[in-house]
Amino acid sequence: MSASKRRAAWIPYAGLLVLFWGVWGAFSSLPTSKYGYPDPMVYVIWSITMLIPAYFSLRGRKIDRRPIAAVYGLLIGLTGAGGQLVLFKALTIGPAYIIFPIVALSPAITVLMAFAALRERLTALSWIGVGLALVAIVLFSVSSGDSQETGGTYLWLAIGVCVAWGVQAYFMRKAAVVGVNDATTFGWMTVSGLLLIPVALIMMGGLPLSFPWQAPALTAITQLLNAVGALFLVMAMSRGKATIVAPITNALAPVLTIVLSLIVFRTLPSGFQVAGIVLALVGSSLMVYSTEKSGEEPAAAPAREAAS
């Protein structure tokens, strides 16, 4: 394979990731809105579908059996799975075109945690991204009063997901510093998702039995898009530079979700919401680019680990 083809090998996987996650985001609330399917049951089905990409991710790869790998793996997995559990609830009461831009601001949490805990020096792009994220949250808060009952609720749930996934990304970086490979991390993410199934069942009071077969079938289809998209992310990141792959996928998947949501559900956001969406995506992309660029500097990781 030529050098140019190797450099472009990540593009098909990144494109599939954007397609799968974009479509999943736009239609993931359908089982609940159309059939009244409980959002904890959506989580249960998602956690099971994660077994499919986990199989392909782990096949032929060496599992890191060190205790530190298990600790970081569980921290990464539980924050990620917990975020999913909250996300499915948020999507039952709020619009996807607002929720996903808020969730995309999770790099702000990662950046601020690295600044506080690891004493990392933040670049100007990182600070600009954090500033835009804060302005975006304010704009979303101003515009969330359109529903007395759910306007504030889905906003806070989305912020909760943002925090959980920002913490998850922080621990991913810590795991990478100590040499935990991606396959091991993905495996623990899958295990953690399955571990929270009892929590989802308790939230429902048991397995629901009075729903048409279309509800779990539609849930399985949409959540399979979510799970396989995660596999495409791993494949894209292993074949391309993080400074290119991460910002593109972080920004374009929510954009596709927003476009599809607006077209299919024929809902127009307010002026404040449009401004918030734009600032959230731009700020998130700046933070992701800055974070991944610093992570590719050879001496950066050891220096940060020694400082912590």
- What CA–CA distance (Å, rounded) separates 110 from 129? 12
- What CA–CA distance (Å, rounded) separates 92 from 38? 9
- What CA–CA distance (Å, rounded) separates 187 from 193? 10
Residue 4 lies in a domain: no
DSSP code per residue over 187-206: HHHHHHHHHTHHHHHHHHTS
Per the structure, the count of domains in the chain is 1
Given a contact cutoff of 8 angstroms between Cβ atoms, the answer to whether 62 and 154 are in contact is: no
Residue 203 lies in a domain: yes
Residue 2 lies in a domain: no
Residue 70, pLDDT score: 94
Residue 24, pLDDT score: 94
Residue 301, pLDDT score: 35
Residue 1 lies in a domain: no
Residue 126 CA: distances (Å) to CA of 102, 136, 283, 287, 297? 17, 15, 8, 5, 16
Given a contact cutoff of 8 angstroms between Cβ atoms, the answer to whether 154 and 145 are in contact is: no
- What CA–CA distance (Å, rounded) separates 250 from 169? 13
Q: Which two tokens stand for residue 190?
A: 């899958």
Q: What is the pLDDT of residues 181-207, one digit of tens each?
A: 888 988 999 999 999 999 999 998 888
Angle at 46 between CA 45 and CA 47, to 5 degrees: 90
Output the tens digit of pLDDT for each of the chain's 308 residues: 555 666 677 888 889 989 999 999 999 989 998 888 999 999 999 999 999 989 988 888 888 999 999 999 999 999 999 999 999 999 988 888 888 888 888 888 888 887 777 676 777 887 888 888 888 888 777 665 544 445 578 889 999 999 998 898 888 888 888 888 888 988 999 999 999 999 999 998 888 778 888 999 999 999 999 988 888 887 787 677 766 777 777 778 888 888 888 888 777 777 777 888 888 888 888 877 776 676 654 433 333 333 33
Residue 272, pLDDT score: 78
Residue 178 CA: distances (Å) to CA of 57, 69, 158, 164, 246? 20, 8, 31, 22, 21
Residue 65 lies in a domain: yes
Residue 1, pLDDT score: 56
Domain range for 303: 10-307
Q: pTM value?
A: 0.82
Three-state secondary-structure class, residue 125: helix
Residue 3 lies in a domain: no
Q: What is the DSSP letter of 205?
A: T
Residue 160 CA: distances (Å) to CA of 167, 199, 260, 302? 11, 17, 24, 31
Residue 157 lies in a domain: yes
Q: What is the pLDDT of residues 105-118, one digit of tens each?
A: 888 888 888 777 76
Three-state secondary-structure class, residue 211: coil
- What CA–CA distance (Å, rounded) separates 180 from 296? 16
Residue 247 lies in a domain: yes
Residue 151, pLDDT score: 53
Residue 68, pLDDT score: 94
